[in-house]
Structure 1
Amino acid sequence: MKKIILLLLCFIGCLSFAQKVELKDITDSSQIFKGEIAGIPITMQLRYAGIVDCSQYQHFVDGWYYYDKYQKKIPLTGIYDYGNLYLYNFGNKQKQSSKILVEKITSPRLIEKTDSIAKTLNPKEILNFQSDHAEHEISGTFILGNTIHPAKLLTKNSMIYRFNNYLILPNNKKINTYDFIDPYGGNELVSYISDKTGNRVLLYFERTSNFNACGMCGASEGEKGYRVLYFTSDWNYKKYQDFLTESCINNIYDTTESKTKDPKVLKFSIKKTTTSPAYTLVVDIKNASVVKSK
C-alpha cells in the first residue's frame, strides 16, 4: 500500500513538473460584438478592411449586424476611428455606395467628415458609437430615416485589429498580454520558473513604437526589451515589469551587450538619454529575472 501511495505521489509530482508555459501569437482581423438597439439585443461582426492613410487606429471596416430574434444579416460598411465607429447600411446600393465612400475618404482630415460624406450617399441606416473609455459598454445612436434610437455595444473595447499574445499557463489558465500590457504584441517566451516567491515568466519583446506611421516614431520597430511577469504560487497574475534595451520613444539607442561567464546571463549597458540616466540590465534566463542597476 505504501508503495502504491509513493508511486502515486511521484506520478503527481511528475505531472506538476511537466506543466508547461506556452505563448501563442494570434492576430485578429475581425470581432463579434453583442449590443442593443432601442433595448433590442443585436449581434454585430466587423472586419478590418484596410488602413485609410497612415494610422492603424483609423481604418475601414465592413461586416453586418442582425437582431438576435430574427438573425437576418444586414450589411454594414464604415470607419473605425480611434475607438469610434461610423457604420452605414445603404440598402440595395450597399456595394456601389460602400466603394464610393472608401474612394472619398483618403486622409485623417476626411475621416473627420465621414458622416457628412456618407449622408450624401443616402444611407438607409446609420450606426455611430463613441468610445468614452467606459468600463462595460460603448454608447451610440441608431438612425433610421428621421428616427433616432439609443444603441450600445456591450464591450469596453471596440478595436477590430488586435495582436493577441496568449500565455497558456498551468492549472488550465490562460491570459492575453493584449489585455493588460499593451495592444502591440511582439512578445516571445524566453523562460519561466517557480520558487518560494511564486512564479515568474520572462518575455522578450520587439514591437512597433507607434501604430500611427505619421506620428512620433511612427511604424518604427524601435521598442525592444524584456518583461518579467509575476504570478502567485497557483498562477494567478500579479504584475509585470518592462526593461527597455532600445526605444525610439525614450531615445534609447546604441545599447551595448557584454559577455558574461554564464551564457544564460545577459548583460546590457544602456547609455544616458535626455530623459533618463544610464543603467545596466542583467537578464538571468535560468531564473526568469531582470535586475536593473545604475
Structure 2
Amino acid sequence: MTKIFTLLLSFYLTFFFCQKVQLKQITDSSQIFKGEIAGVPVTLQLHYDGIPDCNLYQHFVDGWYYYDKYQKKIPLTGLYDYGKLSLYNFGPKHQQNSKQFKEKIKSPQDVEKVAEMAKALTPKETILFGQYQTQENPIPGSFYLGNKDKVQPAKLFTGNDMIYRYNNYLILPNNKRINTFDVINLYGGNELISYVSGEKGNRVLLYFDHSSNLNACGRCGASEGEKGYRVLYFTKDWNYKHYEEFLTESCLENMYDTTQIKSKDGKTIQYKIRKSDSSPSHTLTVDLKNASVIKSK
C-alpha cells in the first residue's frame, strides 16, 4: 500500500511541476495557407524573399500553389504589401521572368506599380488577395487566367496573410499556448520574467524590447526601440483574458531618460518616467517575483 501511495505521489508531483510556463521565440519566413479558387480547394506555400527597400511590411514572396485534388505544384512569385498579396505564375519562363520582376521593384514607388510591371511580363496566372485591406477572415481575392478579363473568385482561410512573422509562443499549463503575434502585436521581442497563480486567476509578466517600426525608413525606424513590461491575465484554467502594457522607453511616445532603482533583494525595480507625448511623469514599480506592475504618480 505504501509503495502504491509513493508511486501515486510521484506521478502527482511530476504532473504538478510540469505545469510551468515557457516562452519560445520562433521567426517564421514561410507560411502555408489553405484557400479556394472558384470554389475548388487549394493549398499555397509562400516564402519571404527579401525587401525592395527598407520596409518589412513590403516584401517579395516566392512559392507555389496546387489544387488539393491533384497536388501538382504551380510556381508563384510576387509581393506582400501591407496585407495585399499579388502573386504571379509566368508559365514556361517563370524563373526568368520572376527574376526580372524583382529587379524592376526597388522602392515604395515601384511597389505601387507592381500590377503594371507584372503585366508587362505576361503572366499566365494572376492571384490577388486582400487588395481592399478590409481585415476579413477569410481574405477575399481574385484569380485571372492570362490577360483575359474573366475573373474567378478566390479566398484564403486566414485573417492574416503576412509571411514574415516574429512569433513568441507562450507555452502554458493544460496543453495551451498563445502567440503574442496574434494577441499583442507583430514585433516579438518578449522575454518571460515570472508568472503566478491564484484563486482569481493567473498572471504572466513579460519584458519587451523591440523595434518601434518595421518600416526602417519610417518614423522611429532606426530608433533604439520600444521597451517596457506587459502583464498578461488568464483564468484559473489558463484561458487568456487580456494584457496591460507599461512603457519604460519609447521613440513613438518620445519617452526617454528613464531612471531605474533596483531593490536590495532584487525582487522589485522602480522606474521614474518623465513626461511623454501621451502621459504625465509617473512611477512604475515592477514586482519581478509576483508578476505585477503598479503605476503611480
Report the TM-score range of the alignment, normalised by the length of the smaller protein.
Answer: over 0.9
| Partner Cα separation in structure 2 for residue 26 and residue 79 of structure 1 | 23
Query: Please, which of 193, 206, 215 is the counterpart of residue 203 of structure 1?
Result: 206
- Say how many residue pairs are matched: 294
Q: Is the 8 A contact 1:27 1:164 kept in 2?
A: yes
1:253 paired with 2:256, answer yes
Matching residue of 1:139: 140
Structure 1: unaligned runs, 5 residues or longer: none
| TM-score, structure 2 as length reference | 0.94
Matching residue of 2:236: 233
Aligned partner letter, 2:144? I
| Partner Cα separation in structure 2 for residue 290 and residue 182 of structure 1 | 20
Q: Is the 8 A contact 1:133 1:156 kept in 2?
A: no
Matching residue of 1:81: 81
Worse overlay, 240-249 or 123-132: 123-132
Distance 1:11 1:37, change over 3 A: closer
Q: Is the 8 A contact 1:24 1:166 kept in 2?
A: yes
Worse overlay, 28-37 or 1-10: 1-10
Q: 1:7, CA displacement in angstroms? A: 7.0
Matching residue of 1:265: 268
Matching residue of 1:46: 46
| Partner Cα separation in structure 2 for residue 161 and residue 18 of structure 1 | 32
Q: 1:233, CA displacement in angstroms? A: 1.3
Q: Deviations over 1:20-50 (max 9, x none)?
A: 1110000100101111111111100110000
1:108 paired with 2:108, answer yes
Worse overlay, 244-253 or 16-25: 16-25
Q: 1:97, CA displacement in angstroms? A: 0.6
Is the partner of 2:16 in helix, strand or coil?
A: helix
Query: Please, which of 178, 197, 210 is the counterpart of residue 175 of structure 1?
Result: 178
Coordinate RMSD, CA, aligned? 1.7
Q: 1:2, CA displacement in angstroms? A: 8.8
Aligned partner letter, 1:190? I
Matching residue of 1:61: 61
Is the partner of 2:100 in helix, strand or coil?
A: helix
| Partner Cα separation in structure 2 for residue 285 and residue 133 of structure 1 | 40
